[in-house]
Amino acid sequence: MSGPSKRLLIPSIVVWCAVLVVSAILRPLQLDEVMQLMSTRAPHPAAVLDSLGARPGSVPIGYLLQWALVRIAGFSNLVARLPSVAAAILTVFAIRRLGLRLGLGGLTVLTAIVVVIPMLFRYSIEGRPYLPAFRLTVFATLLLLELPERPSPGRLVVYGLTLASAPLLQGTAATVTIAHGLFVLTDRTIRRDRSRQLALLAAIGVGVLIPVAWSLRMRNAWAQAIVHDHYTFAVTFRTVAGFLKDLTGGGLVCTGLLVVGAVYGYARANLPEQGKHLLVLTVLTAICGAVASDALAGYFTSPRQAIYCLCGLIVLAAAGGERLQSRYPLPAILAVTVFAAVSLARDVSVVRSKEDWKAASGMLAQAVAQGFCLEPDSDLTSSLPLYSLFDPSLEGHRCSGSDDKVGLVHSSYTSRQTHDSAAAALERRGFLVAGTRAGGGSTLDLYLKRPS
């Protein structure tokens, strides 16, 4: 790294950290964050663990860590999101170290991609365990590549525990463990030394054992929750295309540029074959494994489940960009500029989310003060606990059969069909619409009993 680049690195990182902290404070809590906080604001760890059976795929470490932070520092947006913010900072340094280990010359492009890519930025400021788990998978990949030919038992234990911890923060991080196993089994250099191969497989086995034990313990509860919440797995051209293009969180442009850059980097960049082999296995296993796990559970597919493919894609794309710049500087600069512009625009939209459950709970409290009871149109996506997390008094104003003034609560996540069905049921009971209010991404339809 050149002198000016070194001098700019620390100030740039400081500014970026400040952006993360301010964004984490200002961005309203999102649905998945509120649902997690409904568990982690429980009084005891046992209650937190009991709640995970109702949340398919949930694993304990991220929930217990957030529970401890909230109990120690109090509830706020920043406290709930602090593990993700810290993980994002550590991830930048880990991926830079991985780039150095693989022989990348300049790390500016690599760092820029990590900082602006929308999928990582979103989960850097969201109180969910994806970024902490992603960080551990990057560390594990780095540890595997840096293990000496005769690794000490201590380093093998650290490597195995790192692999084991990631899926206990977020379940599909186990796909990286599978990728590492495939790498150790197929890499020609490792296969020549059977004792080293067996030692690595033993460490990887530790990384598999604990997450598998947790999944087996929870599988029946998760299966019941999936059926209860009417989740289904479906593969259509539209869902597959949407899954692939949103791997980066930046749509077709960002994903297309990153994948093309990664393919070019794999084919043309002067990287160690062993490193390229591991990164490609990680990319493919993370994507295929995420879809396979959802299919096995009958769960809906989501690109965030495959977030772990981004480490390999980013490093390979940065290598491809470096190679392209040495031969065709103008196209390389144009590609990086377009990627950064589209990513930053998406990052701004992430921070400026219109979804605000705290504001919506205030809207409901105003209706309650005017004598309305509250009736959610869905017990899943508009349930009263999503709002009473911010105002516990709302729980005491659920509708009963004798109420004459009803507020029908509807969130943007509830289907129109579900809402219309709930509204029709009220009309059959003799209620008429008296008005509608909206706030924080939720809608409150006010109904009055028709005079008899």
Q: What does the pLDDT look like over 282-340, one tens digit per residue?
A: 999 999 998 888 777 667 778 899 999 999 999 999 999 999 998 999 999 999 999 99
**pLDDT tens, position by position, 16-39:** 999 999 999 999 999 999 999 999
**CA–CA distance, 223 with 57 (Å, rounded to integer):** 10
Please indicate, yes or no, whether residues 391 and 344 belong to a single structural domain of this protein: no
Phi, psi angles (nearest 5°) of residue 317: -65, -40
Phi, psi angle pair for 106, to nearest 5°: -100, 140
Asked if 409 and 387 count as a contact pair (C-beta separation under 8 A), the reply is yes
Same domain for 185 and 64: yes
Average pLDDT of the segment spanning 93-104: 94
- Domain total of the chain: 2
Say how far apart CA 180 and CA 163 lie, in whole Å: 9
User: Is residue 1 scored above 60 in pLDDT?
Assistant: no
Q: Are 424 and 442 within one domain?
A: yes
Window from 23-32, 208-217, 384-393 with minimum mean pLDDT: 208-217
- Predicted confidence at residue 428, as pLDDT, reads 93
The C-alpha atoms of residue 304 and residue 315 are separated, in whole angstroms, by 19
CB 224: neighbour CB atoms within 10 A? 13
How distant, in Å, are the alpha carbons of 207, 236, 244, 301 from that of 239?
31, 5, 9, 8
SS3 per residue for 201-260: HHHHHHHHHHHHHHHHHHHHHHHHHHHHCCCCCCCCHHHHHHHHHCCCCCHHHHHHHHHH
* Per-residue confidence (pLDDT) for residue 221, from 0 to 100: 86
Expressed as residue numbers, the domain containing 443 is 357-449
Domain co-membership, 168 together with 187:
yes
DSSP structural state of residue 352: T
Query: Could you give the C-alpha distances from 259 to 123, 210, 211, in angstroms and in order?
Result: 21, 33, 30
Which residues 6+ apart lie within 8 Å of 112 measured at CB? 336, 340
Among 299, 323, 351, residue at a domain's last position? 351
Report the pLDDT value the prediction gives residue 11, as an integer from 0 to 100. Answer: 84
Domain boundary among 295, 321, 351: 351
With the C-alpha atoms ordered 235, 240, 242, 246, is the resulting torsion angle positive or negative?
A: positive
The confidence score (pLDDT) of residue 5 equals: 56
Is the predicted pLDDT of residue 3 greater than 70, yes or no? no
Question: What is the distance between the alpha carbons of residues 58 and 36, in angstroms, rounded to a whole number?
Answer: 9
- Quote the tokens at residue 427: 């009309």
HSE-CB for 34 with a 13 A CA cutoff: 23
Confidence of residue 245 (pLDDT cuts 50, 70, 90): confident
My answer on whether 344 and 404 are in the same domain is no
Q: Which of these, 318, 283, 305, lies nearest to 182 by C-alpha position?
A: 283
| Mean pLDDT, residues 128-152 taken together | 94
Is residue 344 domain-shared with residue 380, that is, in the same domain?
no
Q: Is the pLDDT of residue 2 over 60?
A: no
329 and 180 housed in the same domain: yes
Over 90: is that where the pLDDT of 148 sits?
no
Co-location of 402 and 345 in the same domain: no
Q: Are residues 113 and 7 in the same domain?
A: yes
233, 299 Cβ separation under 8 angstroms: yes
Q: Are 53 and 218 in contact (CB under 8 A)?
A: yes
CB-based burial of residue 447 (10 Å sphere; 0-12 exposed, 13-18 middle, 19+ buried)?
buried
> In terms of domains, do 326 and 370 share one?
no
Q: How confident is the model at residue 215 (pLDDT cuts 50, 70, 90)?
A: confident
Check whether residue 118 and residue 217 sit in a common domain.
Answer: yes
Q: Note whether 33 and 120 are same-domain residues.
A: yes
Of 166-180, 227-241, 264-278, 283-297, the one with minimum mean pLDDT is 227-241
Q: What percent of the chain has pLDDT over 90?
A: 74
Q: What is the pLDDT of residues 37-63, one digit of tens each?
A: 999 998 899 999 999 988 888 899 999
> At which of 292, 316, 351 does a domain end?
351
Q: Which residue has the tokens 């020549």?
A: 192
